[in-house]
Chains A and B, each alone.
Chain A
Amino acid sequence: SQQGEEDPQALSIQEGENATMNCSYKTSINNLQWYRQNSGRGLVHLILIRSNEREKHSGRLRVTLDTSKKSSSLLITASRAADTASYFCATANTGNQFYFGTGTSLTVIP
């Protein structure tokens, strides 16, 4: 089974609002990464947070990591219509096998 699970599965918000999506994973990790995918396209790396970090920012993105709860959240502030995409968290186990979550489909309504 996949290691990461995103929640919610789908999210629809108005432009300008904030979007928050969550990811849970099952085993110990070295880091957790978030990726974005526009429909039918390849994934694009957004941000990486290491296991010893609790929060990281990149532009309008804010990622938190709680290793005790094995969870992470991605916050997109002041959303734009162009943020409409699917968002995935990704982790790797010690065997270097990668697991992507099921993804959150975000729709930002202009």
Chain B
Amino acid sequence: DSGVTQTPKHLITATGQRVTLRCSPRSGDLSVYWYQQSLDQGLQFLIHYYNGEERAKGNILERFSAQQFPDLHSELNLSSLELGDSALYFCASSVDLAGRYNEQFFGPGTRLTVL
């Protein structure tokens, strides 16, 4: 158990809908990262938050948005869902600003299926 929790574990929804994925980092970790893993795209970095502020953006679509709250939990919002958004969404946390200096601890993921 990494100490990072993600809810829900599974989510099945229809095209055009909007969903929110939630992540709670390890106790004491200030950085939260979001990743999308699909069969055809591999593991893609989406966005990084540190202590409530956005620090880096990766391949995140405009339909997607995220935020980190004062209690450090984070939410990833996916809207106008398309079939291609079906994937595993992981959140990870690390203790410091730059995960490149320290390991990232990954949550168990949320499996999103868009029908």
Contact = CB atoms under 8 A, between A and B. Distances in A.
A45 B33 contact: no
Residue in B45, B55, B58 with the greatest tally of chain A CB atoms within 10 Å: B45
A2 interface: yes
A110 interface: no
A99 to B, nearest CB: 7
B100 A92 contact: yes
A45 B109 contact: no
B100 A88 contact: no
Given A42-B108, A42-B109, A44-B2, A98 B103 contact: no
A79 to B, nearest CB: 23
A44 B107 CA distance: 9
Interface residues of B, number: 30
Nearest to B55: A96
B109 to A, nearest CB: 6
B107 A42 contact: yes
Interface in B69-107: 88, 90, 92, 97-107
A42 B45 contact: no
Contact of B33 (A2, A88, A98, A102): A98
Given A30-B100, A31-B101, A33-B103, A41 B45 contact: no
Interface of A: 2, 29-31, 33, 35, 40-45, 48, 88, 91-92, 95-103
Interface of B: 2, 4, 33, 35, 42-45, 48, 55-58, 88, 90, 92, 97-109, 111
Please provide the 7 A-B residue pairs with the shortest distance between their CB atoms, ordered closest to farther: A92-B100, A42-B106, A45-B103, A100-B43, A96-B56, A98-B45, A43-B106
